[in-house]
Amino acid sequence: MTSPFRVALSGDFRKADGSPVFPDFDLEPLRSAANVEFTYLTPINPIRADQLADFDALILLAHRFTRESIHPNGRLTVVARFGVGYDTVDVEACTEAGIAVVTTPDGVRRPVAVSILTLLLALTGKLMVKDRLTREGPAGFARKGEHMGVGLVGRTLGSIGIGNIGVELFRLLQPFGMELIAHDPYADRKIAAELGVELVGLEDLFRRADVVNVSCPLSPQTHHLVNAARLEMMKPTAYLINTARGPIVDQKALTEVLKAHRIAGAGLDVLEQEPPDPEDPILKLENVILAPHALCWTDQCFAGNGAADVRAVLDVQHGREPHLVVNKPVLATDRWRKRMAEFRSRFGA
């Protein structure tokens, strides 16, 4: 009898009472798959190596997967991250151990782009201010003329990053009549041209944009990419939006710029510290819209992420290369090829 392909789900997929955190994550394809068993890990963060000794695959939500999470028996073959970011995973250690790291950009592409658009419209339409005015009754209504919104036609949106999410954002912006610019050393120039996006230098983007959007991965190179000097380059009427990762923006510098009204405002779905200290001064500012790293969280987003992770895990079970591997060099290693051949032999291609 063939031993089953065993899949672990990180413990943060379940609430304390055992119910699913995200009911839209459909696990039926795993339940119905032949020769597959899955279970939830005890919620320990970072994940410990002994928890994974008997598993071939891990579907990972927010818990960290470090070098110390890798069991020396070499059984674990794939870490399927639930989402597009992988800064919680030690990718280098995974590559050395022959473990493929997979993300789900197809699941987050539209939801994150929509969340950027949501912040763009809320900021320029002064939505939060107008909400407060309405709740004040007649006194608030009397001041509504003091808070005129900003039209988008002819305004410039500059995106730091024109990858998976940046491209989708620019597609959504096509009917708005905005000028579109982007900075990305890895940009596909053909796609940029098709979307009418001008590729520019980083400082040029900060100086020209009426809205600066951050859509790049967090890395040592992008840590505090949005710093005090670059924030000072922005127009006093400009807005900053960040739905990527908090540490890409120097939050202390941004707080000072916002307090001084050096820029018009910011929309942040991510912060340097999550959750923030309750005394963090940025929480007290009225010219910033904040969300708890969850603005893109919709039923469709989580269904898409879950389906992509399950598909990747089942591809590995059958010895097929999964879609969207982060650490592609692992696919050329002898260990990976040997494991794929073994899975094909056990479960069929």
Q: How far apart are CA 213 and CA 26, in angstroms?
A: 32
Domain boundary among 286, 318, 339: 286
Q: 154 and 282 share a domain?
A: yes
**Shared-domain flag, residues 193 and 222:** yes
Query: Do 309 and 236 share a structural domain?
Result: no
Q: Do 93 and 224 sit in the same domain of this protein?
A: no
Residue 148 pLDDT class (50, 70, 90 cuts) = very high
Three-class SS state of 12: helix
- Which positions ≥6 away from 295 have C-beta within 8 Å? 115, 118, 119, 243, 269
Which of these three, 286, 314, 333, is where a domain ends?
286
Give counts: helices (H), strands (E), the chain: 12, 12
Looking at the DSSP bridge assignments, the partners of residue 5 are 36
Are 320 and 337 contained in the same domain? yes
171 and 236 housed in the same domain: yes
Q: Which of 110, 183, 293, 311 is catalytic?
A: 293
Indicate whether 135 and 86 sit together in one domain: no
The reported pLDDT for the residue numbered 84 is 86
Whether residue 71 is found in the same domain as residue 167:
no
Helices (H), the chain: 28-32, 91-97, 105-124, 127-135, 138-142, 164-172, 189-194, 202-208, 228-233, 251-259, 299-317, 334-347
- 261 flagged as catalytic: no
Quick one: tokens of 39? Answer: 């279970």
Please identify, among 233, 253, 286, the residue that sits at the C-terminal boundary of a domain: 286
Q: Give residue 349's pLDDT band: very low, low, confident or very high (50, 70, 90).
A: confident
Amino acid at 225: L
Q: Which of 274, 286, 321, 342 is catalytic?
A: 274
146 and 266 part of one domain: yes
Q: Note whether 60 and 158 are same-domain residues.
A: no
Exposure string for 254-267, b = 16+ CB within 10 A, e = fewer: bbebbeeeebbbbb
- What is the end-to-end Cα distance of the chain in Å, rounded? 18
Q: Would you call 207 a catalytic residue per the annotation?
A: no
Is the peptide bond preceding residue 278 cis, with omega within 30 degrees of 0? no
**Residues 26, 154 within the same domain:** no
pLDDT of 271 > 70? The answer is yes
Write out the two tokens for 268.
């942040």
- Which residue bears the tokens 């031993």? 3
In a domain, 293, yes or no: no
Structural domain tally of the chain? Answer: 2
Phi, psi of 32 (to 5 degrees): -90, -10
Q: What share of the chain is helix, strand, coil (3-state, %, to 5)?
A: 40, 15, 45
CATH of residue 91? 3.40.50.720
Does 294 map to a domain? no
pLDDT (0 to 100) of residue 284: 97
Whether residue 335 lies inside any domain: the answer is yes
43-84 pLDDT tens trace: 999 999 999 999 999 999 999 999 999 999 999 999 999 988
* Sign (positive or negative) of CA dihedral 144, 146, 147, 150: positive
Polymer length of the chain: 349
Q: Give the model's confidence band at 1: pLDDT under 50 very low, under 70 low, under 90 confident, else very high.
A: low
Q: What angle do the packed helices 299-317 and 105-124 form, to 10 degrees?
A: 160
| Percent of the chain whose pLDDT exceeds 70 | 100
Range of the domain at 309: 5-103+299-347
The answer to whether residue 198 is catalytic is no
pTM > 0.85: yes
Which residue in this structure is represented by tokens 């990858």? Answer: 163
Catalytic residue of the set 63, 155, 245, 339: 245
- Read off the pLDDT of residues 159-199 as tens digits, 9 standing for 90 and up: 999 999 999 999 999 999 999 999 999 999 999 999 999 99
